[in-house]
Amino acid sequence: MKGIKVLFLTAVMSVLAGSMVLAQDEITDGDLRKFAVLSQSIEYMKKDISIELNKMIKAQEGMTGKRYKELAATKGDEGKLAAIEAKDFEKQFLALVTKLKDERTASIRKVNSDLATKMVGNKGKIYKKIKADLKTDEALSARYQDILAQVSGK
């Protein structure tokens, strides 16, 4: 009789433990909302970089958007810069813009990492799970799109 009670209690504990694991793996609408807010914030920061770079390009005498794209396509490679006959001021401008862009991108990565860890929760595990599951789970993706529309005001 004791053996049956122990077996029964073990079964009940297993079911409870299993449901707790499932509950921890479940992504809530609250988790998705935090993920959406974080994603929106990161997108706004990326757009801000683009706006700043465009202002710099427009303000630089002798520089056009088309020429900047040619310069940027070289990724600073001296051989490629020589091939497109880049002038010294263009090389210096490209280096300045690249440095600014890299610094701001690094800042965005840090903010994203910090917020994914602290805001979305569970030391970033929930953020990573959402990001991975959104690629394969259509139902989750649909829920996320609805929440993202609410967050972005669309």
Mind listing the pLDDT tens digit for each residue in 65-120? 999 999 999 999 999 999 999 999 999 999 999 999 999 999 999 998 988 888 88
Predicted structure pTM score: 0.68
- Alpha-carbon distances, residue 68 vs 19, 50, 71, 73 (angstroms): 56, 13, 5, 8
Q: Grade residue 45 by pLDDT with cuts at 50, 70 and 90.
A: very high
Residue 12 has pLDDT above 90, yes or no: no
Q: Grade residue 20 by pLDDT with cuts at 50, 70 and 90.
A: very low
Residue 27 has pLDDT above 80, yes or no: yes
- CA 118 – CA 104 distance, rounded (Å): 21
